[in-house]
Chains A and B, each alone.
Chain A
Amino acid sequence: MTLSFGFDLSLAVLTLAVAGYAIGARESFASVVAFISYGVLLALVWVRLSAVDVALTEAAIGSGVTGALLIGAAAKVGEGAVDAPRSVRGAGRLLTALFCIATTLGIATAFLSLPEKAPTLAPLAAEHLPSTGLGNPVTAVLLSYRAIDTLLESVVLVFAVVGVWTFASDRDWGGRPESPGKDRPEQPLTFLGQILPPLGILVGVHLVWTGATEPGGAFQGGTVLAAAWILVMAAGLRKPPSIEGAWLRFALIGGPALFLGVGVAGFALAKAFLAYPEGHSKAFILVIEAALTFSIAIALGLLALGAPGRKGHP
């Protein structure tokens, strides 16, 4: 057993143990905290699979923003009353456990019996990389070869925001979401809220810029910007925005709208939807990424804030 395999094995065991705690913990708050740590460990597993782009996304979105969202929800709903309906117990629990073990064994068997030679599009992706002007093949897939997936993904974020807003009561419509922090934040939080955001903006922009050649990109960078925004609001330095603000709605749809516009312009410039003119791919991709990053940051922040509530009414 080599050293690196020992590391991988301990990492896998630790990840599974933390995930197990997230599932089995007695309190929902502890479960959410375990889930966040699990996300960070999972990001390390992704690094070990040489998928650094995925690792960044998992750490930023899968663990970070999802964690902020779940912690907020856990604090609001609490553990529930004592006479609450019990979770599945006794024979039903045992039966469920057996079924889940069978599921895992089935998937594991299928995974282990895959044919030795795996199909791959990697050679094709590498071959055409120079024509995109990019150095990071993952960014090339996201914004050039399969740009339509990314366009739809950015639209999904907008729809999710609309969906979350529809859960507001009629009387709260047009109000502000509740602030993610306390009414009177502690001083260290205010301090961090003043110190960290400039750094966050720098890191976010850096991630987008280097995304062309190194791991990183619009989604990872946008998440860091969203995190900086959430921190500023949690520290009580700025109020959450009113959902009726015109600038907010423009910022939310600006990225996807520009992306769509470039896509339609592709008919005139390069004879296909979402095609970039020969030799100018990189410039187009950078402009789209910049606008997309901003819209993603706004969308993620709004999703983490949730529906407008009475407390935050102007």
Chain B
Amino acid sequence: MNAVTLAGLAGAALIGMGLFGLVTHSHILRKIVAFNVIGSGVFLLFGAVARRGAASGLNADPVPQALVITGIVVAFSATALAVALLLRYFKEVGSPFLADDPGAGASQPDHERP
């Protein structure tokens, strides 16, 4: 067991924890945070897998590092988009929660076809 193996296992644990938060929370912001935890877990796992390929006098393989840097920036862009969507949803609906389930609106009359 060394730092690399430890980081890989931590990455796996982070993915599981993030997945749990994403599914169980109904507050949208909590879902966004959980999704980011999954994302960073995936990056960490990837980094740990890539670290095994470190060779030729370099400390670490530069190709996967560049990929992760790109990934972090794109993940931030996606998060910014998600937050903007949340804020607009909050402005329209007045609540940071998603509706419980699609069946919850069943009491309202459906638009019937003529």
Contacts and interface: CB of A to CB of B under 8 A. Distances in A.
A164 B95 contact: no
Given A53-B69, A85-B26, A123-B56, A23 B13 contact: no
Interface residues of B, number: 86
A181 B11 CA distance: 35
B20 A77 contact: no
Given A4-B3, A111-B12, A164 B61 contact: no
Interface in A118-133: 118-123, 125-127
A78 B36 contact: no
A146 B63 CA distance: 9
Contacts of A38: 37, 40
Given A85-B99, A111-B8, A153-B74, A137 B16 contact: no
A49 B3 contact: yes
Interface in B4-60: 4-21, 23-30, 32-34, 36-37, 40, 43-45, 47-60
Contact of A93 (B11, B24, B29, B83): B24
A5 B2 contact: yes
Contacts of A53: 65-66, 69
Nearest to A85: B100
Nearest to B56: A123
Given A19-B17, A219-B73, A28 B80 contact: no
B84 A48 contact: no
A66 B20 contact: no
B88 A103 contact: no
A23 B48 CA distance: 23
Given A49-B4, A73-B86, A39 B40 contact: yes
A60 B20 CA distance: 26
A51 B23 contact: no
A70 B33 contact: yes
The winner among A87, A114, A118, A120 for most chain B CB atoms within 10 A is A120
B14 to A, nearest CB: 6
Contact of B13 (A16, A39, A48, A81): A16
Contact of B80 (A16, A23, A69, A103): A69
Interface string A60-101: 011001100110111011111100111110000100110111
Contacts of B83: 69-70, 72-73, 306
Interface string B74-109: 111111110111111011000111111000100000
Interface in A244-268: none
Nearest to A165: B84
Nearest to B19: A100
Interface stretch (A7-15, A185-193, A199-207, A235-243): A7-15
Interface residues of A, number: 97
Contact of B47 (A54, A84, A167, A304): A54
A126 B58 CA distance: 8
A91 B9 CA distance: 27
A73 B45 CA distance: 29
A231 interface: no
The winner among B7, B8, B76 for most chain A CB atoms within 10 A is B76
B6 to A, nearest CB: 5
Contacts of A153: 70, 73-74
Contacts of A8: 2-3, 6
Contact of A122 (B7, B32, B55, B67): B55
Given A53-B69, A122-B61, A156-B77, A16 B10 contact: yes
Given A23-B34, A69-B83, 12 more contacts: A20-B17, A35-B37, A38-B37, A48-B7, A69-B76, A70-B83, A84-B95, A87-B26, A88-B24, A167-B88, A303-B80, A306-B80
11 contacts: A22-B21, A24-B21, A31-B30, A38-B37, A53-B69, A65-B76, A76-B87, A78-B96, A85-B26, A122-B63, A303-B76
Would you list the 10 A-B pairs with minimal beta carbon distance, nearest first?
A120-B53, A104-B16, A137-B62, A160-B77, A23-B21, A303-B80, A141-B66, A85-B100, A118-B53, A118-B52
